[in-house]
Amino acid sequence: MTPTILTTTSPTPAPDLTAAQVAGLDDPALLAQCVVEVPVGSSLRRIGLGLSGMYCAACSITIEDAILRVPGVSEVQVQAASQRARILLDPARTKLSAVVAAVQRAGYRAWPDAAARAGNERLLERRKLVWRLSVAAFCMMQIMMVTTMQYVAGPKAIPLDLWNLMNWAGWVLSLPVMLFSCGPFFSGAWRAARQGHIAMDTPVALGIAATFITSTGATFGGQAIFGHEVYFDSLTMFVTFLLGGRWLESRAREKVTQSLESLCVQLPEAVDKVIEADAELADISSSRTESIPISSLRHGDKVRVAVGQVFPADGQILAGQTDVDESLLTGESRAVRRQTGQMVVAGSMNLGSPVWMTVERLGPDTRYQQIVSLVQQAMTEKPGWMRQADRMAGPFLWGVLALAAGSAIAWQFIDSSRSVWVAVSVLVVTCPCALSLAAPSALLAAAGAMAKQGLLVRRLDALEALAHVDQVYFDKTGTLTEGELRVVGLVTFATGAKVSKGLPTDLIERWQKAAALATQSQHPLSRSLVKAAQESGVLQGQSWLDVRELAGKGVEARDSSGASWRLGSRHWVLEGAAAAIDEWSEGVGDARVWLASRTSEGSLLPDSISGYVFDETFRDEARPTISRLTDLGCRTALLSGDQEARVVAAAQHLSPKGELVVAMAHAAPEDKLRVIAEAQSQGHRVAVVGDGINDAPVLAKADVSIALDQGAALAQSQADLIVLGGRLLGVPLAVETARRAMRVVKQNLAWAALYNLSCIPLALMGLLPPWLAGLGMALSSLGVVLNALRLGAFHS
């Protein structure tokens, strides 16, 4: 095998950094934010870098090599799983922009990871958890080795001193588990106790402590009080299961955090600030500017934002008008017109022409940053079932303690030598291992299975609601349709008003020309033209001379033969055309982009004219999604802000048999809310699938909210479930998986409750020897976990 196989699909190099991006990256304040670690006694810094565009583990090696070639970099670690790099560099000899540029040249995207320190802390925490888990698991295995002999042979076949040696071995091996692995349970219980609460950790910690103390007593000669039985095996097994669950949960959480974080990143840029002396000029557009890093921008500053730059802050436009790409915030992929006096938001991109603005909100106050912090806050929230379990644990624990104390007192009168023994066996038998594992293990296994199918579960308790959903509302634009417009056909003067279906082969040359010229422009429609050409494989590189992009008009250039070409709005491209052409082109209203060539004298060549028609396209998976949801017994409905006729046409297109109902067209966000509230008041459980920012309140109202990952960050930060890659079929799959998960939860709860309820009376009566209680405890936990794992093994 030749090594090149690994790199054949290497992505094309990303565009070079602009001067403003370089200046923004080299801001020392930014570098300081990215520092993860400062090695003692050296001027080197270890910094964090976020990466994207990696598709396999081999990419990380390519990136490592690229970064290592930058002078001044002495160490690189790239983690494919977390899409992060940690770099040891000398700030005196290299700049952040050099590193980012090196990664971009290798064909990937990189950005300074300002949250690197938080990420580093999460990493260290995760490592510690793995370490605790592996200590518990290893000790458990070794204790099992020893106790198996005791189980198989029984006390009579083994000499007493050897029996004791085995118990001692178990005790020594469970010490690391008690002292190190159980740390989180004890500290959680202690924290709760100091605040006067009882947490889910409390019964667990008490159970662990009680089991360990009795077993220790029995091992070291206290048999008269503690009985003869030791439970080091069930103790370590219980701890291993609990830690395993926590580890799985933290991994699932980390995955979600990363996918959301990578949505919210952008390269920082330097800002062109209007210098003080000119700030009060009546005509701001004639003022002079200086380039400053974004960190030294202040409230009230006036800045100039060039075409292709990202707005550095929320603020008002002072002069100029432009088209703004706000897709990050609203999911609306079409550019929005903004003019003097209107607000622009940080994080959106200036596509049209340069504008001047005053800074009104900066950094943490901007809407963009608020979204980012919303996302981060959602990550740290405790799942609802955990809060509920904490509330229920209080009365439960008091009950258990009362039972144990009561039985100890009662047995004082019956047989005082057995009273502690019985109290302990009550504590052991009621230790709610199986109960506390029943729901989380099933929900986690389901979330894991869903993650493999491209579904990220943000709130585990949403799975419960999802299992009962009977109505699913879809947004149309961006949800059932692709987010971007697509070229669906073209017209020429020769074909008249008739729009070709698709892209006819006899016009391929025209079409190639348009795509080649479109590569010179950043406009969303140009990008979509280029994408379509790439997909059908007709895109050819062409060299252009004198390329000019004019805001709101289009792009103009000369090709190698010297002919001048224009691509852009009808008005501009067909400027000075004959009346017949003008009339004809007016009639083809659907054509949004035009292409034409001119002679050197500037007169239009009628034969070179072509117009490109764009339309939204439905996702391939939209139709099967509707029919599968119908099969599952869910009513599907469209809830759209678009015009009635288009929504009805979409419903007919997607469901020939009429399963997809039009709930409401031309709906404002309040109307959507009202529809959802009405359905809920009729007792329906409602799921909403959406993507844009105006879906955010509707998503919050629904019982279960599902967002597509191509949508607005705000919509996603409020959603319970995120569907990756726009794979709509994930929605019915999620409903199915959630239903099965809830079945498993019910089985688990029934089994755990049955076990606890049937064993408590036996233990109270002194009929349950503690070894049997311990075995029962371990087996019931194991049963619950294995039952839950069935969910993960499922593949559709």
Partner 1 sequence: MEILYVLIPVSVLLVLAILAVLGWAVNSGQFEDIEQEGLRILQPEGQPDKGNVEPYQD
Contact residues toward partner 1 (CB under 8 A) are 1, 3-4, 6-7, 42-44, 56-58, 60-62, 64-65, 68-74, 77-82, 90, 93, 123, 127, 130-131, 134-135, 138-139, 142, 145-146, 159, 162, 165-166, 169, 172-173, 176
Backbone angles phi, psi at 490, to 5 degrees: -140, 155
Decide whether 62 or 640 has the Cβ nearer to partner 1.
62
Instruction: Tell me which H or E stretch contains 644.
Output: helix 644-654
Decide whether 5 or 793 has the Cβ nearer to partner 1.
5
Give start and end residues of each alpha helix (H) in 519-643: 524-535, 570-573, 579-587, 622-631
Least Cβ distance, residue 449 to partner 1 (angstroms):
21
User: What gap in Å lies between CA 348 and CA 351, rounded to an integer?
Assistant: 9
Look up residue 338 and give its DSSP letter: E
Decide whether 74 or 223 has the Cβ nearer to partner 1.
74
Least Cβ distance, residue 124 to partner 1 (angstroms):
9
Decide whether 239 or 355 has the Cβ nearer to partner 1.
239
Whether 708 contacts 455, CB under 8 Å: no
Instruction: Tell me the C-alpha to C-alpha distance, in Å, between residue 248 and each of 332, 446, 744.
Output: 36, 12, 18
User: Directed axis angle between helix 201-219 and helix 433-452, to 10°?
Assistant: 120
Decide whether 59 or 763 has the Cβ nearer to partner 1.
59
Three-state DSSP state, 752: helix
Decide whether 249 or 549 has the Cβ nearer to partner 1.
249
User: What gap in Å lies between CA 347 and CA 263, rounded to an integer?
Assistant: 12
User: What is the C-alpha R_g of the chain?
Assistant: 33
User: What gap in Å lies between CA 442 and CA 744, rounded to an integer?
Assistant: 6
Which residues, other chains included, contact 194 with Cβ-Cβ below 8 Å and sequence gap of 6+?
none
Decide whether 59 or 344 has the Cβ nearer to partner 1.
59
Would the CA dihedral through 532, 538, 542, 546 be positive or negative? negative
User: What gap in Å lies between CA 561 and CA 563, rounded to an integer?
Assistant: 6
Region of residue 45 (phi > 0: left; psi between -120 and 50: alpha; otherwise: beta): beta
Decide whether 94 or 370 has the Cβ nearer to partner 1.
94
Angle at 485 between CA 483 and CA 489, to 5 degrees: 150
The string of DSSP letters for 224-288 reads: HHH-S---HHHHHHHHHHHHHHHHHHHHHHHHHHHHHHGGG------EEEEPGGGTT-SSGGG--
Decide whether 72 or 783 has the Cβ nearer to partner 1.
72
Least Cβ distance, residue 187 to partner 1 (angstroms):
20
User: Residue 576 class from Cβ within 10 Å (0-12 exposed, 13-18 middle, 19+ buried)?
Assistant: exposed
Least Cβ distance, residue 50 to partner 1 (angstroms):
16
User: Residue 226 class from Cβ within 10 Å (0-12 exposed, 13-18 middle, 19+ buried)?
Assistant: buried
Backbone angles phi, psi at 321, to 5 degrees: -135, 150
Least Cβ distance, residue 2 to partner 1 (angstroms):
9
Decide whether 87 or 539 has the Cβ nearer to partner 1.
87
Q: Taking the mean position of all CA atoms in its chain, how far away is CA 95?
A: 30
Look up residue 18 and give its DSSP letter: P
User: What gap in Å lies between CA 345 and CA 325, rounded to an integer?
Assistant: 10
Decide whether 60 or 526 has the Cβ nearer to partner 1.
60
Backbone angles phi, psi at 227, to 5 degrees: 80, -175
Decide whether 168 or 190 has the Cβ nearer to partner 1.
168
Least Cβ distance, residue 80 to partner 1 (angstroms):
5
Token digits of residue 543: 């060299």
Least Cβ distance, residue 349 to partner 1 (angstroms):
33
Decide whether 448 or 524 has the Cβ nearer to partner 1.
448
Least Cβ distance, residue 489 to partner 1 (angstroms):
45
Least Cβ distance, residue 108 to partner 1 (angstroms):
15
Whether 322 contacts 353, CB under 8 Å: yes
User: Directed axis angle between helix 116-153 and helix 232-261, to 10°?
Assistant: 160
Least Cβ distance, residue 235 to partner 1 (angstroms):
16
Backbone angles phi, psi at 554, to 5 degrees: 155, -155
Q: Taking the mean position of all CA atoms in its chain, how far away is CA 312?
A: 24
Which residues, other chains included, contact 628 with Cβ-Cβ below 8 Å and sequence gap of 6+?
729, 732
Least Cβ distance, residue 216 to partner 1 (angstroms):
16
Least Cβ distance, residue 89 to partner 1 (angstroms):
10
Decide whether 170 or 774 has the Cβ nearer to partner 1.
170
Least Cβ distance, residue 211 to partner 1 (angstroms):
20
Decide whether 116 or 760 has the Cβ nearer to partner 1.
116
Least Cβ distance, residue 428 to partner 1 (angstroms):
25
Backbone angles phi, psi at 60, to 5 degrees: -65, -30
Amino acid in position 571: H
User: What gap in Å lies between CA 557 and CA 366, rounded to an integer?
Assistant: 39
Decide whether 173 or 729 has the Cβ nearer to partner 1.
173
Decide whether 6 or 265 has the Cβ nearer to partner 1.
6
Least Cβ distance, residue 217 to partner 1 (angstroms):
20
User: What gap in Å lies between CA 669 and CA 663, rounded to an integer?
Assistant: 13
> Count of residues for the chain?
796
Whether 756 contacts 430, CB under 8 Å: yes
Three-state DSSP state, 360: strand
Token digits of residue 25: 């990256």
Least Cβ distance, residue 440 to partner 1 (angstroms):
23
Least Cβ distance, residue 125 to partner 1 (angstroms):
12
User: What gap in Å lies between CA 444 and CA 789, rounded to an integer?
Assistant: 9
The residue written with tokens 């081999």 in the block is: 58
Decide whether 7 or 652 has the Cβ nearer to partner 1.
7
Least Cβ distance, residue 743 to partner 1 (angstroms):
34
